[in-house]
Structure 1
Amino acid sequence: MFSKLPSLTTLLFFYHVSISSVKGTTLPYASESDFAALPNAAISLRDCAIKALGSDAVSRLVDNSSAAYDDARMGEKIQYDQFPTLIAYTKSSTEVQELVKCANANGIKAVPRSGGHHFESYSALSNTLVIDIGHIDSVTVASDRKTAVAGAGTRLGRLYLALDAHNTTFVGGICPTVGLSGLLASGGFSMVMRSQGLSVDYVQSLKAVNSAGVLVTASASQNSDLFWAMLGGGGGTYAIATEFTLRLSQLPRSAMVFLTWSGYNSTVTKGVAYQVAKRFLEWAPKADPAFTSQVNVYGNTVQVLGWYLGKSKVQLQELMDSSELLNVTGQAPRTVVIEGDCDTDNSRLFGYTTFTCQKDSDVNPFIMNTIQDPFSALPDGTPQFTYNETTVSSSVEAAPPWARFKRMGKSFYMQKDNLLQDEALEEIVSRIQSLDKDSQIWGEWHAWNITANKGTRNAFGWREEAYAHLQFQAHGSEDVVKQKGYEKWFEDLEAFLRPKTGMASYSGYMDANISTNPYESYFGGNVCKLVGVKKKYDPNNFFTNPFAITPVAPKGGSNNLVILAIYTLMQHNLVASGIMLFDIDALQGP
């Protein structure tokens, strides 16, 4: 269609035509040719995978002829858009290597899956081989307890319990079913990040399978560019991680706070919710860096949860008194819990399964004791996939199944040089309260302003700029009319809030409907360097997903990045109609 690089205006015109003329296309996938397979590829791929996985291969392979296919192709998010050719559950790096070779031989893309929490289900794309690494989850602690070697598919709950046995831990988030590899591909924020930094700051080295099926080691001194990119530069993009060597921490005992405002005439008024959120965002990111906290804004409740690392109950009480949160509305919060002397597990569970600092022997971390495939059954009764499901601890009851739902969400960073104006904050609180109860809408807003590990060499793009992170989530509906209303709500939120906050978003919460350039939104100023790493380690774009970095180096500035993003969407939309676009290599720099 184009013989040379078109202007942005021209491309936007054709983009409009493409999305309005191809029915049913909503996501900016890589081109159909990127996922083209050889004839009879599915059969050949399965035969190859059986050889790769050995004697119990049949019990670890799922395709669309399997009763458990719908269960296996979904992670946490219930979705009806992605239909992989084959799903393979691996147990070792060697198996991952062989499966990558199988995919290559059959012209099929391989997509890695760690925890299955991807907000857009990009870890289980249509017409791909899904390489599930959830059973690569061994944890071996060094004798000096300073490091541990962990399988890349280890879920955080399992990691923490394994480390508990050695009286040590890893700096990571609180969701027990999140996979380690996915956490680290995004950056990894937590309730101790303001003083301790991000999870990616605590990786010493990694092993990964490249697009040729070769196992490589990466660290600050070996394949350092790959090491940099795989820590915060996006998942499923450069290679498939199979192992991380982690630097461990012995976090001190801490004080915890939990506040709620609710029950004012059965609801929290707009004024109360707004006043709490406003004061929180003014104060919490500027508080003592040892204090990391979040405010949760629901339709009829507001909560504040905080972890004061290494501090006492008295010190936390003084901090909260100085915050003005305890009387900001003119009424005391309905619930005020300020506790001290919590150990690390207790602190992670605080506000979720416990609301007190208990004796260590009384802490029950059952929610962390997850199996490898931890999600609940689908509502339609689809059989669940299981394979040698185990827990880490025999002395703690197993975690209940982690609930699946039709997840909807948005992510925005407030940046230090562009704080949200009061009128905008008041409006988004009002919007949260306008949505019906069935949506279970909530805003989960974290104080950032990270002081630790500035200048750390990994690819997370927003460490220096982020003041707070504003996350919005809701449960979708099977009711078509109601679902369209929810989609419109999020579309309107994007249109209202994005111009006020700017493009920055967290790559762990990817959003197919983001209105800004996704590359810059998720990776900031690191895009061009990431493209260079991609071109070096995966020049043929074997590992890809709709928002993955490509091996194409855009010329110039933002306009060319926008063109690259729109090209990706156009290519998917137009190829089905037999329309050829310009060669994407035209975008490539010298």
Structure 2
Amino acid sequence: MGDDGAAGTVFRCGDQRTRHSMITGSRACRCFHGRHEPPTTAYLGHRIHSGGFGQTARTTEPWCSSPSDEGPERLPDVGTQAAHGTCLQPTRRRRWVLWLAPLSCPLLHRGWALVTIDRFTVSSYTGAFMEDVTLYPRVRQDDAGPIEGKESASATPYGGQDVTNEGEWNSLEYRTTGSLFRAPSPKFYSLCESLNHRYSGRFPGGVLCAETETDIVEALAWCKKNKMRIVPRGGGHSYAGFSTAQDGLLVDTSKMRGVQVDVHAQTVTVGPGVRNSEVFQALQGTNLLLPGGRCPAVGVAGLVLGGGIGLATRQLGLTCDSLISTRVATSVGETLVCSSDQNYDLFWACRGGAGGNFGFNTSFTFRLHPVDTVTVYDLSWDWKEASTVLGSIAKLIDDETYKKVISCQFGLRTRGARVYAQGIFFGSAADARKALTVVTAAAKPNFEFVEERKIWPAMSYFYVEAGSDPYLSKSIVSNSALSEDTIQALVDDMNSWKERSVDSFASVSFFAMGGQDAEVSPTATAFVHRNAHFIVSMTAYWADSDSDSVSNANCEWLRSLYSKLSYRLGGAAFQNFPDPELVDWWTAYYGENYSRLVAIKNKYDPSRLFEYAQSIGNYPRV
């Protein structure tokens, strides 16, 4: 079986032409049609991890497929492994591929590692069928170039461009109570892994697992002294991999997960590493709700800083609308309490200005909302009803009677429940069924669940864990209603989807807006999208093991769909669904609020320690 990619053909076990060098510590064997032959002498200039980092696999005649379809060739002699991070440099400018397996690996899970080698570049990703494997190659920025479907690292994965000496790293470790990890520690690599595997391969200079606010303050001072970027990480769920650093210092807050609930005051205070699941657990048994997302592993910090939408947005507003105060450690050496009474400009920016822009938020205090019994609904239909169902849901969410009563996430998928609508009705089951009649009468569901529940059992019905396979996602924030023409164009495009692998699929999800969230002025907080009818998220998925041809085709399909829908619905986008391909992102995310956000950025982060591809002020430079 061949996987046709830009660099030539990759042959897997089962192909008659396949001979793969399989490296296991200091041993190697060749694989013919899935059968292992005795080990041969081996040479390969990579450091690999097998129980402990630092072993060097060596082969003299590793077999690989050539850039053409001529069958396996020998890899040129590239010399010995010198320091960690040394490139393989074939004598000719061409690509080679090797299959390596199996080793113990902190990053990859039960898969092959495909190594693509050109004159300056080595990159890897997982495949299928074998045990764990990893290798940590050096990638040269001057010749690496992006690989379609998988973001390419721009510098060495051994910690990025080291701008500090070992003494400085030691001083950071001495000044903080949290643990500091650097390559080649296996823990370092596991902490760097991106949830979206499209951005695997980004490695910072080090990872500090902060335990206290003081750790964060010390890290900021250290980064400022050493002119190094700092990247906060809570849940690590950035669609674009922005919570995974390339170079700089990654500060992991997973140990700062305290949750304090004040039932009488109806508030909750959380640390920067708290996930939705910890808030859910702390509020179980109460009738108090924090409007938030449905994914338990998502970090509350990223959720609120980008606005925050969920199952109660139309009833109770965005997550950021319930924010009372937040503590922010800044690059100028201050730790500030930000609220409606203190440092209001920064408080304004922290409600929709997105994370990692102005400072390091070390805690958040939210107002909770008393909610008793609600009604859960979950409906799905046959694909043939797609156009009818979307049209009837569009009428329901625009009905003034229900804008602050019913939440709704609806959409289309290429597999499973392909046409669906689900949400919470803030009222009785009888009233919920009455409201849903406009949809169920238009097309009879093949699955229908409507049930009254207490608020937290109702919320738990919708919990969904995010996957970790690679994907590309795009979003549109639309201020207009969903028209019949747009619906038909969407259905036609979904019909054009081709499943190019068993793990490929696509989804388009609509999040109804226009309720309590719209009662706030677009300039009252940094979240500008207050006139939205809905937010649409469109995503194409594939597997780590899929070939470049699969990922390329899936991405191109999604780009085409986005182009058609954005032409009809507008170019605004949701900052919590970041799209690294978005050209005019500052306008799409922030609209008229962007210039004010830049001014606040310049005030609180003049040295620009907080900077990434789509950070405030990064472009256009102001």
TM-score (norm 1): 0.74
1:219-298 equivalences in 2 (<5 Å): 219-262=339-382, 268-269=383-384, 272-286=385-399, 288=402, 289-298=404-413
Q: 2:419 aligns with which of 296, 299, 302?
A: 302
Superposed CA offset, 1:414-447 (max 9, x none):
213xx34423322222322323163221111111
Superposed CA offset, 1:111-158 (max 9, x none):
111110000111112111011112211111236242222112210110
**What one-letter code is carried by the residue in structure 1 that aligns with 2:456?**
D
2:281 pairs with 1:168: no
Paired residue for 1:397?
none
CA distance in 1, matches of 2:559, 2:579: 11
Aligned residue for 1:241, secondary structure, equals strand
1:248 Cα deviation (Å)? 1.2
Paired residue for 1:502?
570
**What one-letter code is carried by the residue in structure 2 that aligns with 1:425?**
I
Unaligned regions of 5+ residues in structure 1, if any?
1-20, 263-267, 353-366, 368-400, 552-563, 566-583
**What one-letter code is carried by the residue in structure 1 that aligns with 2:473?**
G
CA distance in 1, matches of 2:559, 2:461: 34
Superposed CA offset, 1:435-464 (max 9, x none):
31632211111111123542383211101x
Q: 1:326 aligns with which of 411, 425, 440?
A: 440
Q: 2:181 aligns with which of 62, 79, 83?
A: 62
Paired residue for 2:454?
343
1:43 Cα deviation (Å)? 2.7
2:178 pairs with 1:41: no
CA distance in 1, matches of 2:257, 2:200: 29
The answer to whether the 8 Å contact 1:186/1:507 transfers is yes
CA distance in 1, matches of 2:175, 2:161: 19
Paired residue for 1:435?
498
2:526 pairs with 1:410: no
1:166 Cα deviation (Å)? 5.0
Aligned residue for 1:473, secondary structure, equals strand
Paired residue for 2:535?
469
**4+ residue runs of structure 1 moved beyond 6 angstroms?**
26-29, 36-39
Percent identity between the two aligned chains = 22
In the alignment of these two chains, the number of paired residues is: 463
Unaligned regions of 5+ residues in structure 2, if any?
1-141
**What one-letter code is carried by the residue in structure 1 that aligns with 2:476?**
F
TM-score (norm 2): 0.70
CA distance in 1, matches of 2:469, 2:161: 35
1:22 Cα deviation (Å)? 8.2
Paired residue for 1:380?
none
CA distance in 2, matches of 1:297, 1:348: 22
2:592 pairs with 1:525: yes
**What one-letter code is carried by the residue in structure 2 that aligns with 1:295?**
F
1:278 Cα deviation (Å)? 2.2
Q: Tell me which moved more, 215-224 or 493-502.
A: 493-502
Paired residue for 2:307?
187
**What one-letter code is carried by the residue in structure 1 that aligns with 2:458?**
S
CA distance in 2, matches of 1:75, 1:415: 32
CA distance in 1, matches of 2:570, 2:362: 35
**What one-letter code is carried by the residue in structure 1 that aligns with 2:166?**
I
Q: 1:97 aligns with which of 212, 217, 232?
A: 217
CA distance in 1, matches of 2:378, 2:161: 56
Superposed CA offset, 1:260-319 (max 9, x none):
113xxxxx23xx21221222123223351210111131124211102111x111111111
Pick the structure with greater CA Rg. Answer: 2
The answer to whether the 8 Å contact 2:407/2:425 transfers is yes
The answer to whether the 8 Å contact 2:391/2:482 transfers is no
The answer to whether the 8 Å contact 1:38/1:107 transfers is no
Paired residue for 1:24?
145
CA distance in 2, matches of 1:72, 1:112: 12
**What one-letter code is carried by the residue in structure 2 that aligns with 1:319?**
A
CA distance in 2, matches of 1:508, 1:316: 30
Superposed CA offset, 1:175-196 (max 9, x none):
1111111001110111111121
Higher relative contact order (CA 8 A, sep 6+): 1
Superposed CA offset, 1:10-33 (max 9, x none):
xxxxxxxxxxx987259999x99x
Residue 440 and residue 42 in structure 1: after superposition, are their counterparts in 2 closer, same or farther (change >3 A)?
Answer: farther
CA distance in 2, matches of 1:38, 1:475: 32
1:165 Cα deviation (Å)? 5.2
- Give the strand-richer structure, 1 or 2: 2
Give the alignment's Cα RMSD to 1 decimal. Answer: 2.6
CA distance in 2, matches of 1:49, 1:472: 42
1:407 Cα deviation (Å)? 2.5
CA distance in 1, matches of 2:295, 2:445: 26
2:259 pairs with 1:127: no
Paired residue for 1:80?
200
CA distance in 1, matches of 2:398, 2:189: 42
**What one-letter code is carried by the residue in structure 2 that aligns with 1:247?**
R
CA distance in 2, matches of 1:234, 1:108: 21
Superposed CA offset, 1:327-359 (max 9, x none):
324xx211111212x11122112255xxxxxxx
Aligned residue for 1:319, secondary structure, equals helix
CA distance in 1, matches of 2:459, 2:188: 34
Paired residue for 2:61?
none
The answer to whether the 8 Å contact 2:287/2:371 transfers is no
